[in-house]
A and B are shown apart, each in its own frame.
Chain A
Amino acid sequence: MSEIITHAELRRLMDDWIARGGEVIGPAAVKPDLVQYARLESAGLMLSGYIHPANSIKEFFFPRSEILYRYKFTGKKIELSDVVNDPVKPMLIMGARPCDASMLPILDRVFNWDYKDNFYDKRRDAATVVTMACTEHDDACFCTSVGCGPAAEQGSDALLIRLGEDAFEVRCLTGKGRALFQGKTQPGERTAEIPPGPPLKFDADFVRKFTRDNFDNPIWGELTLRCAGCAACAYTCPTCHCFDIVDEGNAYGGARVKNWDCCQFSMFTQHASGHNPRSAQGQRQRQRLSHKFAIYPDKFGEILCTGCGNCGRICPVGLGVLTVLEEISNATPSLESVEPV
């Protein structure tokens, strides 16, 4: 027995959500050659047949730029005004890839392990996330190498799996998911098949050990020499979550703002003294991969990467997590041969 929803019913569910004042986010053709997760004005704009959008759903929880509070100067007086309690609309994310939704438990920990980030949490509470299992993958996909997969359930409130041409099998995974699909599905005899994911491409445990033992290995600089030093990888990555806090305003007032930041910029670690502990791009690449495969796992027990492959697809010089890790794995076939420099 399974629960089944037709495409028409699913579209109705999305349009109802919008009609009730909520927001629906889904993959859309925002330009003829560009698929991104975007706010949809109607369910009909949602796209199918994509492998992975060129952004991630991260920005709907952790926006690229967010005001923390505003300030105003009146003479010598400073007036602060809060925005944290501003209401957010109920948000339905429809058709996220499992590798995108998998970033939610990862970011939940980052934004709650110590300080509770109310900005992130209020969006998280307002969101219902419906994932769509992958039926296809491309060369850049590597979810299976990092403990994720084409029908992974992490972070998802309900999982849709394609069932023929006009229906999905619905697997409700949380109360939010059950509430969303309550009364919208039909029981069916058919059960959808979960398609195979991409083959294993590297051994994450090996990578973790390698990054720990090879801090000064010249291989980092060598493999990443072509890196242009932009943040296209990090900003399209579901899990990269570094940010900077800046004041933006003028003599009369302004706002304190939280903006995405990226370890691939030389400015990221530039000290006021002029010293830069990561002065070369290879060191910055090492940092990004170490954070994903050793630092975060040491702290939280999981890999800070869902294998979505966006970094590799989007990099202007064809250098993604997968590219570097495959090369490291090829260059050092066994751990015994890795000599710390």
Chain B
Amino acid sequence: MIVDQLRELCARLLSEGTAQVVIGYGQAAPGKPAYPVFIRRAEDADQLVWNDQCMTNLAATLKRREVKALGKPAVIVKGCDERALIMLAKESQIVRANIYVIGVECNGAGRPAMAKCASCDVHVPRWTDTVIRETESQAAAVRTTPSSARYADLEAFMRKTPEARLAFWRAEFGRCVKCYACRQVCPLCYCERCIADKNRPCVIDTSATPKGNFAWHITRAFHLAARCAGCDECARACPAHIDLRLLNLALAAAAEDHFGWRAGMDPEAEPPAGAYSLKDKEDFIG
């Protein structure tokens, strides 16, 4: 069982001092969404769970001051979560050597499985110190899914008229209350002071009005272009169920189309916005 191996590893890492905190999943009751737990004593390792409710991207907890204060972390990641971790390293937010990464094979999280899982091609994390897999698993570490499968929802949406798409976003953003759950659970939203919180001058209206909400979601989307690792945590966290996944997909499709880039897939590759290449397109400069 994966969970037994996780608990055993967690206890060992803590007692050997390899990590001061193991960031994993806990759960109040079976079937309830699992949430982050921060295990600091080997004897608490049995609080860890592993099941299809482990949806949270734990990489997002690493940015938090309270978590950094706990010492060297070991963090449990699924393949999709790991992509965010790779991006954090690329953007100098974490030092890989200072984190112990525990990868767990995942064949779909959520009940029913989250939308992203249908076209997942990173079932087994690769950039880890340890990988725990199902004993019987024959799944290949990296499965190739055609990009058409990844972007099917986006393509269906783009077949609508521009007017229909605008009406859709008006309704979606119309429900936004600016709770910033999308930002808070995002592993790549790590700005110490978000532009939405800047008030001298105020760049984005703090009002949850059509203007303020469009400004917030579009600005956030642009800032995450070619950086968003597609974990869809923002969409899951949104209390108003705004379909932020569609925005993320649009960003990912543009990055893949124009730069052949998928955020966090290749630890060696340089991010398009963070590297200069002579092959960079210039045709948009008028």
Measured CB to CB, the residues of A under 8 A from B are 30-31, 33-34, 36, 54-55, 59, 64-65, 139, 221, 225-226, 228-232, 234-236, 244, 246, 248, 257, 259-260, 262, 265, 267, 280-282, 314, 316-319, 323
Give every chain A residue within 8 A of B240 (Cβ-Cβ).
Answer: 34, 36, 54-55
Q: Are B185 and A316 within 8 A (Cβ)?
A: yes
User: With A259-B208, A314-B239 in contact, is A235–B36 under 8 Å at CB?
Assistant: no
Residue from B32, B61, B181 within 8 A of A230 (CB atoms) = B181
Nearest-Cβ distance from residue A274 to partner chain B, whole angstroms:
11
CB distance from A83 to the nearest CB of B (A): 14
Check: B184 CB closer than 8 A to any chain A CB: yes
Distance between A209 CB and nearest chain B CB, rounded to angstroms:
25
Question: Of B177, B185, B199, which one neighbours A260 at CB under 8 angstroms?
Answer: B177
A189→B183 CA distance, assembly (Å): 55
Q: How far is B207's CA from A141's CA once the two chains are assembled, in angstroms?
A: 31
B234 to chain A, nearest CB (A): 9
- Asked whether A280 lies within 8 Å of B65 as measured between CB atoms, the reply is yes
A36 to B33, CA, bound (A): 21
Which residue in chain A gives the minimum CB-CB distance to B32?
A318
A314: nearest residue on chain B (CB-CB)? B239
Of all chain A residues, the one with the shortest Cβ separation from B181 is A230
Known: A34-B241, A225-B67. 16 other contacts (CB 8 A): A36-B240, A54-B241, A55-B240, A59-B177, A231-B181, A232-B179, A234-B179, A235-B178, A244-B206, A246-B207, A248-B212, A257-B207, A259-B206, A259-B207, A280-B65, A318-B32
- CB-defined A-B contacts under 8 Å, sample of 6: A231-B180, A231-B181, A246-B206, A248-B202, A248-B207, A259-B207
Contact indicator A235/B56 (Cβ below 8 Å): no
With contact pairs A226-B38, A232-B181, A317-B36 given, residues A246 and B202 touching in the complex (Cβ less than 8 Å):
yes
A259 — which chain B residues lie within 8 A by C-beta?
Answer: 178, 206-208
Cβ of A51 to closest chain B Cβ, rounded Å: 15
List residues of chain A with CB within 8 A of the CB of B36: 226, 317
Beta-carbon nearest neighbor of A31 in chain B: B241
Query: Smallest Cβ distance from A310 to chain B, in angstroms?
Result: 8
Closest to A244 in B: B206
Which residues of chain A come closer than 8 Å to B206, judged between CB atoms? Answer: 244, 246, 248, 257, 259
Contacts of A323 in B (CB 8 A): 28
Q: Is B237 in contact with A232, judged by CB distance below 8 angstroms?
A: yes
Query: Could you say which residues of chain A place their CB within 8 Å of the CB of B180?
Result: 230-231, 265
Q: Could you tell me the distance in whole angstroms from the C-beta of A288 to the nearest C-beta in chain B? A: 14
Give bound CA distance, A226 to B28, whole Å: 13
Q: Mark B163-194, 1 if CB is under 8 A from A, else 0.
A: 00000000000010111110111000000000
B120: CB under 8 A from chain A?
Answer: no
B64 at the interface (CB under 8 A from A): yes
Contacts of A59 in B (CB 8 A): 177
Q: Does the CB pair B239–A235 fall under 8 Å?
A: yes
**A246 and B241: CB pair below 8 A?**
no
Find chain B residues with CB under 8 A from A55 CB. Answer: 177, 239-240
Q: Closest residue to A279 on the B side, CB-wise? A: B65
State whether B66 touches A280 (Cβ < 8 A).
yes
Residues of B within 8 A of A226 (CB): 35-38, 61
A65 touches B212 (CB 8 A): yes
Q: Which of A262, A281, A316 contacts B64 (CB 8 A)?
A: A281
CA distance A323 to B199 in the complex (A): 34
